[in-house]
């Protein structure tokens, strides 16, 4: 049985494996770095550790939104990365055998599987593929 955290971005939901998450917190502003990608929102120090802030909405080329005091940062457990998302909405559980192949071709590289949650199919972020795509691992 795997546990997931369900998040939202631009009215789309996605899931992260709970084992990949160290902490969820209110999003903080980072110190921008010159010559970085648009989805790289700088660096931030949290409890004496420096995290790279990556905006998942921008990384996935989803429509822009105004920053909100509701935005969350998900601190990853295996890399000093903070993912900015709109909301952390729920948790979900699924047996590995219940995960299905993602039929959405544009998402398949980063979201190869989906899980069913409350009657909807939620894409599951493949952390290995995501970290490789950011070259920050």
Domain of 26 in residue numbering reads as 2-134
Burial of 45 by CB count in 10 Å (0-12 exposed, 13-18 middle, 19+ buried)?
A: exposed
Looking up residue 120, the CATH number of its domain turns out to be 2.40.50.180
What is the enclosing helix (H) or strand (E) of 129?
helix 127-134
Contact residues for 66 (Cβ-Cβ < 8 A; gap 6+): none
* Local confidence pLDDT in tens for the 137 residues of the chain: 899 999 988 888 999 999 999 999 998 888 888 888 888 889 999 999 999 999 888 888 888 766 666 789 999 998 899 999 998 999 999 888 888 888 877 778 889 999 999 888 999 999 998 888 887 44
């Amino acid at each position: 049985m795997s546990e997931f955290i369900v998040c939202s971005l631009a009215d789309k939901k996605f899931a992260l494996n709970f084992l990949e998450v160290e902490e969820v917190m209110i999003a903080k502003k980072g110190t921008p770095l010159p010559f970085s990608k648009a989805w790289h929102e700088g660096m931030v120090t949290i409890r004496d550790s420096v995290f790279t802030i990556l905006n998942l909405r921008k990384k996935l080329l989803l429509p822009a939104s105004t920053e909100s005091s509701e935005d969350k940062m998900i601190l990853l457990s295996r890399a000093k990365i903070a993912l900015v998302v709109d909301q952390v909405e729920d948790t979900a559980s699924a047996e590995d055998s219940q995960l299905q192949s993602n039929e959405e071709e544009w998402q398949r590289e980063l979201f190869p599987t989906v899980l069913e949650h409350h009657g909807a199919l939620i894409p599951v972020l493949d952390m290995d593929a995501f970290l490789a795509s950011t070259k920050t691992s």
